[in-house]
Structure formats: structure tokens, C-alpha cells
Amino acid sequence: MKKKPAKATPPAGPQIVIDWPVLIVTVLVGIFAAGLVIAQFYDAQDPRSQVSLSNLSDLIPRLQETTNPIERDGRYGIGLSAMGRELDGQLPPDTRIFITGMVGTNCTSLGYYYFLRNYLFPRDVEISLDGHATFYRENWVIGVPCDSPEVLRSNGFDLMIGFPNNNPQFVALTPKVMPKSQ
């Protein structure tokens, strides 16, 4: 004897399944994004805040008026960028540059080296006399330091730059390099 197929029961309604991990991550990302947006408008009241949206909007016309990149960096950016751009325009492309005071276990002024290496490319910018500086830890550089203009000149360097008290000091080692004082 044949059995009659059982009748299918109609669905009781939509089933709501909550994926808790996805919901928690979504809420956390939303809270984080809202915090970033609120900070943009909250910091706009502080005149020292250069990263708020309203301050950046006010800065656009002034940046467009200033067409000289050195002047723009000096006025509205980082002064070291302006110095790097100015040196780039003054120095021949084959200049070899040595930056003193960058080797040691507590060198907190490596930012000067990174900025100048970037702005003076393709020039050779060194902080170790042997050309093999090893960046060991955050503020720790192993290399051969040199503060002697005579030794640097004999090793083929054209310009020595130092930053005593965070003020750039230039020593021309060869006649082809005569940067203006900053």
C-alpha cells in the first residue's frame, strides 16, 4: 500500500538569525568612525589644530596662492622640508653630503637625515663615514661617526651638515658647494 506524502507545513514567518560576531565588529567600527568624524569638528575650535576639516578647507586658497614650493613648505608645512627643497636647488646633483651627529645609541635627530635624504635624492647623503650605517633600534645607529671636515674632504664629501641645538650648520668642504645659510 502506498503512503500518502505528508503535507508541508507553511513557514511560520521569517526567521531572524543574528550573527553576533559580525554585529559586534560592525558596531565597534561604527563607533570608531563616528569618533574620528566628531574629532574633526571638535578640534576645529582649536587654532593650533591643523588637521581638522574646517582648517584644511580654509588653508586651500592660501596654498593655491603660494606657487613657490619652498615658500609654501616654510609657511604652511614643515620648515625642514623647505630647507631640503632649498638645498636641492642650490647643490649640484653629484654632491656628496655627510650629516654629523647621527651615529650612536641615543640619536633622537634621525628625522633630519630622513628628510634630507629624501629631498636631496639622488645625491649621496651619509651619516656613517664607511657608508654602512646600521639602524639597530629606534634611536640607535651603528656606524663610523665623523666631525672632522678634513677627514670628510679626504673621503670625497663636499658638504658637512650638523644640527647642534636643532639649528642647521653647514660646512662647505669643496669649492663647488657653497649653500646659503638657512
* CA-atom Rg of the chain in angstroms: 30
**What pLDDT was estimated at residue 125?**
94
Indicate the SS3 state at residue 126: strand
What pLDDT is recorded for position 21? Answer: 92
CB 94 within 8 A of CB 56: no
Interior CA angle at 115 toward 110 and 119, to 5°? 150
Per-residue pLDDT of the chain (182 residues; tens, 9 = 90+): 566 666 666 666 677 788 899 999 999 999 999 988 877 666 555 555 556 666 777 778 888 888 888 888 888 778 888 899 999 989 999 999 999 988 888 777 888 888 899 999 999 999 999 988 888 777 788 899 999 999 999 999 999 999 888 889 999 999 888 655 44
Confidence (pLDDT) at 23: 93
pTM comes to 0.66
Task: Report whether 98 contacts 152 (CB < 8 A).
Answer: yes
DSSP assignments along 42-77, one per residue:
HGGGSTT--SSHHHHHHHHHHHHH---HHHHHHHHS
